[in-house]
Amino acid sequence: MYAPTLEETALHRLPGPAPRRAVDARRGVRALITRYFFATAALAYLVDALCLVLLPSPVGIPVRAALVGVHLVLAIFAAVAIRARGIWVERLMVALLIATAAMITASALVYGLGLVSPGLGFFALLVCVASTVAGRRAGMLLAAVASLSLVVVAVVGRAGLASAATQVVEEWPLQLAMQLLLVAVGLAAGWLLSFVVSRFVQSADERERRFRGLLTIAADAYWEIDQGYRLVEVINQRVDPPAPSVVDGIGQVPWELPAFDCDAETLDALLADLDTRVPFRERAVRWRVGNGAPRSLVISGEPRFDARGVFVGYWGVARDVSDELDARQALVETETRYQALFERIPTPLVLHRDGVVIDANAAGLALFGHSTLDTLLGLDLLAAYESGDSRERERRRLDELADAPPGDALPVADFRLVLPGGRRVSVRATGVRVEAAGGPATLSIYVDDSERRTAEEAVRRSETMLSHLVATSPDVITLTDMATGRYAMVNQTFERLVGYSAAEVLGRTSIELGIWVRTDDRANFVAQIREQGSVTDMPTQFVTKGGRTVSMLVSGARFVMDRREYLVINARDVTEVERARLEREAILQNASIGIAVTRDRRFVLANPALERMYGWPPGSLLGQPGRVVWPSDEAYAEIGAIAAPLLGRGEQLEIERLAMRRDGSSFLARILAKAIDPHSPARGGTIWLIEDVTERRQFEQALANARDAAEAASRAKSAFLANTSHELRTPLNGMLHLAQLARDPALTEERRRHYLDQIADSAQSLAVIISDILDLSKIEAGKLELETMPFALDELLHTLQRGYAAQAGARALTLELDIGPGVAGTVAGDPLRVRQILSNYVSNALKFTARGTVRIGARRLDGTRVRFEVEDSGPGIDAATQARLFHPFTQADESTTRRFGGTGLGLSICRELAELMGGEVGVTSEPGRGSRFWAELPLPGATPAAPAPAADDDSQALRGATVLMAEDNPVNMLIAVALLERWGVQVEQAADGQQAVAAVQRAAGEGRPFDAVLMDVQMPVMSGHEATRALRALDCGRELPIIALTAAALVSERQAALDAGMDDFLTKPIDAERLRLTLARWVARRR
């Protein structure tokens, strides 16, 4: 690229328009010199005028004033001439030089110095300057003027016409010659300098021409603007002459012209560059040439400054890029079309060089399993080929194509690719040698052949599968020629079900074989096939070769194959299906729980159990909305909100809710539900299992209540045991300590008797507690037996009153007896238990009443029932406490136990005894108003029993009797022996069952057999049961009366004793009176 020299740059920076011819450059140089000349001259005139004023001078003041004035005028003239332009520069310069020459001449004459005046020496300088700047003719003119002035000075000086100071010397010719020589030398020097400048300007013109020539190559136009941004000059190298729009724009701002056009951003950037006086490059604008379309230009410019550095404008070049932009746009569009075709073509294309991928379209990316081009670029294409034959064949093909010229292609071949993830793809591929960025490359073109091969494989598999399905299908499949009705194919199921082999069937018709039971069915089937083209699930029957009838569902369709019409028949044996359907129907009909199916929130199936459960007539629930079985819309919405998410997840719903029968009544239902299709429970259907669990839940609630009651009873029993332990220990401790005190020999007889009475009272209290516990245990175990015997009820009541009279008197209470009509006389019942109930009532009344009266009352309600009442004036009982009174192990409150003692069993035993007798008990009370405990018992009238023998008779019967007492407990043995001996009985003792058997044998051998044996049941070595069995096995013991003694009072114990061979049964502690009567009865029988 051409670059201007320093001289050219200086030349381009000259003010004014750029040179077009040699004279322009010459004028430019001379104008530059004249400006400096004018400035220097103006300064010189001012200095000269100042010297005339300040320095002493031989001339007079007027002359000096005139000279100063002339100098000032010339200084002003020179200063004004500095701004001159064009031809006026040379003219003003010549005029100033002539005036200066005249001024020098005048000064020489005024001062009288003549030819020796120093100022005359400037003539040579003036001539030189004139020749150099104004030209040779101006130099010669000024040389002539200078020579004439010198001649004038010489003549005036010689003639003496000058000032008095002028002296005429003899050397004036020499002086004149010297001055003229100086002028000649100045003229010669001016001519020489003028030649040098001309040569320099010519060289500059030559360089300018070369520079302009290069501009015609590098740019289409040259332009200049001044400091006001107005066009000064435009040279259009492409258009000659310049376009009118350009010519008309000289002297105007370009961007204000109609032909100029550019976007606002570019214009703002251009103005910013111009305002900051910086170069700009490649600014894109548009310029309309004539009436044609606007041309796209790219302009560049440099700021211009004059020699003093003052900004004078811009100059620059413009380049028409319209054709270039059009060509580039066309190229871009072409490339875009080809790129779009490359990207969008569905055929996979991969561009590679030496096997390395450098580009690929979307289809190619998809084929090779990549989502973005970046992941495929740079990969080895051959690595994607299946190792082995595919990879090696493609490698050889690509090597052959690498040396081929662009345009050569490879034949299409089949390959296998292995994609990321291991997936294998079958492709057909070819390759084309193409030109690409960076050199020749190979464009591989692929066709994914997987689908075709997959389709072929699918067809093959389909044929195989179809053949297999036909052969192994559980349905009968036959192929029949529509025209003849003859079998063309039958499967193995046909052979197995119908009994005919394929060889027997092919080529024959079903009519010939007699397969259809009803020929009308066949005719109807064929008619529908001909009319509709197909038949679905037609029920009929076939006859097998063996004559068995089979129920079938027959479907068929006709089709054309090889231009022949065929009928394919699919027949299914539904015998088992029908049986299964009947079984399912039987299950639904006979199921004990409700079964339903809903679809779209309506019942589509409901078994009889469900209809009965909800009270709907048979079949009437079908089609009903689900809401009809729920008591309210809210309940229906609630079950829907609960069931929907579970059924949608395929989970089972299990819930219990109140359901509504058709009559409006409700019941507790246990509901299980499961969606048939979890993705759409409503439309796919839901199976519901519903069970009425009302009674079950009531039973479970009753069990829960019973469990709670049992737990409460258990807690009460725990409290009872704690209390009972205290009640047992209290009399027991009293007995022990009193017995120890009674053994003191220093005691008086009265004190010892008092201690013994207290021991007896404590023992009686202990016996009562133990009796209550035993009675309750027998009642709870169901082993308590009641006796029914005649007894005098009024006599029992009087005896009861007398028994508690002393206790009432001791507490200052009145104990009254009120016997109503019909009570006196004999009744049938258990007098012991009646007395036990009333005794408990009276005992409690006396215990809890501090003052007042306790009344015992009895009256007959009807022919059999008697109501007993025990009324007191005690503190009374609130309702909450009354509810607990007749339950075991409970008392009114804990303070009762602390204050009065007791086990809390009495009232519960009363209730149990009354219920066992067929009666009932209760209480009526109010706090502060006393209590009335009552019992209603069935006691019908009875005939009086024969009078019991007197006690003296029983004692007489026992006197002299011999009895064997078998007891392992020494205390019990001591008590029994003492009682028996008091009655006159001779007693022999045995400590266990074995000793008892030996004693009986010994007594019998000695001829003094026992009259009876009192046998304890639980003894060591040999129990009472074992001893009894042993005695019954002996002759001496077979008829011997044996009476059992045991602390167990259960019915089972009594039965066990009787089963062992014992004759009677007595419980401990021993009741002396009962022992005496029982023993007297058996001894009397023995004697």
Average pLDDT over residues 234-260: 67
Cα distance between residue 385 and residue 382, in whole Å = 5
Q: Which residues, 6+ apart, have CB-to-CB distance to 861 below 8 Å? A: 867, 936
Assigned domain for 580 exists: no
* Lowest pLDDT segment from 724-733, 742-751, 811-820, 952-961: 724-733
Q: Which of 138, 150, 60 is nearest to 102 (CA)?
A: 150
**Quick one: CA dihedral 996, 997, 999, 1003, positive or negative?**
positive
944 within some domain = no
Per the structure, the complete domain to which residue 890 belongs is given by 785-938
User: Domain for residue 579, yes or no?
Assistant: no
Closest CA to 1027 of 1059, 998, 1067, 1068: 998
Domain-ending residue, one of 453, 485, 515: 453
Cα–Cα distance for residue pair 399/352, rounded to 1 Å: 12
Of 939, 909, 900, 907, the C-alpha closest to 922 is 907
Q: For the chain, what is the mean pLDDT?
A: 79
Least confident of 119-123, 262-266, 495-499, 1059-1063: 119-123
Which pair of tokens denotes residue 982? 């008091």
Same domain, 12 and 153: yes
| Winning range, highest mean pLDDT, from 48-57, 186-195, 676-685, 1061-1070 | 1061-1070
Q: Are residues 44 and 191 both part of a single domain?
A: yes
Residue 335 counted as domain residue? no
Question: Is 850 within a domain?
Answer: yes
| Same domain, yes or no: 51 and 121 | yes
In three-state form (DSSP H/G/I as H, E/B as E, the rest C), the secondary structure along 128-187 is HHHHHHHCHHHHHHHHHHHHHHHHHHHHHHHHCCCCCCCCCCCCHHHHHHHHHHHHHHHH
**Among residues 760, 778, 796, which one ends one of the domains?**
778
In this structure, the answer to whether residues 320 and 186 fall within a common structural domain is no
Cβ count near 535 (within 10 Å)? 20
Domain of 1009, CATH number, reads 3.40.50.2300
Question: Distance from first CA to last CA of the chain, Å, rounded?
Answer: 170
Is residue 133 domain-shared with residue 20, that is, in the same domain?
yes
pLDDT attached to residue 186: 66
Of the pLDDT bands very low, low, confident and very high (cuts 50, 70, 90), residue 1013 is: very high
Residue 816 CA to residue 724 CA, distance in Å, equals: 32
Q: Is the pLDDT of residue 477 over 80?
A: yes
Type of residue found at 692: D
The pLDDT value given to residue 1040: 92
Question: Tell me, what's the pLDDT at 773?
Answer: 67
> What CATH number does the domain containing 710 carry?
1.10.287.130
pLDDT, tens digit, for every residue of 653-707? 888 889 898 898 888 889 998 888 888 877 788 888 998 888 888 888 888 887 8
- Give the type of residue at 974: L
Q: What CATH number does residue 380 fall under? A: 3.30.450.20
Instruction: Let me know whether 879 and 971 are in one domain.
Output: no
- Do 359 and 303 share a structural domain? no
In a domain, 334, yes or no: no
Q: From 516, 530, 537, select the one nearest 558 (Cα to Cα).
A: 530
- Lowest mean per-residue pLDDT among 91-100, 421-430, 651-660: 91-100
| Boundary residue ending a domain (299, 327, 355) | 327
pLDDT band at residue 508 using 50, 70 and 90 as cut-offs: very high
**Does 950 score more than 80 pLDDT?**
no
Cα-based distances in Å from 934 to 397, 855, 872, 874, 910: 123, 12, 12, 16, 10
Burial class of residue 3 in the structure, from the number of CB atoms within 10 Å of its CB (0-12 exposed, 13-18 middle, 19+ buried): exposed
In a domain, 332, yes or no: no
Per-residue model confidence as pLDDT tens digits over 147-158: 777 777 777 766
Which of 500-509, 682-691, 1034-1043 comes out lowest in average pLDDT?
682-691
Mark whether 73 and 194 lie in a shared domain. yes
Q: In terms of C-beta density within 10 A (0-12 exposed, 13-18 middle, 19 or more buried), how is residue 554 classed?
A: buried
Is the pLDDT at 166 greater than 60? The verdict is no
Q: Among 54-58, 292-296, 503-507, which range has the highest average pLDDT? A: 503-507
Neighbours of 376 (CB within 10 A): 20
The answer to whether residues 741 and 847 belong to one domain is: no
For CA atoms 1053, 1055, 1059, 1065, the dihedral sign is positive
Locate 554 and state its tokens: 């027959």
**620 assigned to some structural domain:** yes
Count: domains in the chain: 8
List, as own/partner pairs, every contact residues 1055-1062 make where C-beta atoms lie below 8 angstroms and the sequence separation is at least 24, other chains included: 1056/1025, 1057/1017, 1057/1024, 1057/1025, 1057/1028, 1060/1024, 1060/1025, 1060/1026, 1060/1028, 1060/1029, 1061/1028, 1061/1029, 1061/1031, 1061/1032, 1062/1015, 1062/1024, 1062/1028
Average pLDDT on 859-876 reads 88
Please tell me whether residues 741 and 808 are part of one structural domain: no
What is the C-alpha to C-alpha distance for residues 798 and 790, in angstroms, rounded to an integer? 17
Q: Are residues 92 and 19 in the same domain?
A: yes
Q: Are strands 789-792 and 826-829 parallel, antiparallel or unpaired?
A: antiparallel
> pLDDT class for 237, splitting at 50, 70, 90?
low
Within 10 angstroms of residue 388's Cβ, the number of other Cβ atoms is 9
Residue 323: in which H helix or E strand, if any? helix 322-344
Higher per-residue confidence, 146 vs 406: 406
Q: Which helix (H) or strand (E) holds 699?
A: helix 694-742
Same domain for 301 and 405? no
- Whether this model's pTM surpasses 0.85: no
Question: What is the domain-level CATH number for residue 894?
Answer: 3.30.565.10
The answer to whether the beta carbons of residues 497 and 550 sit under 8 Å apart is yes
Of residues 525, 578, 569, 573, the one with CA closest to residue 552? 573
Strand order in the sheet with 280-288: 231-236, 221-226, 311-320, 294-305, 280-288, 260-261
| Residue at token pair 């009787």 | 1058
Residue type, 314: Y
What's the pLDDT tens digit per position in 556-590? Answer: 999 888 888 999 999 888 877 777 777 778 887 78
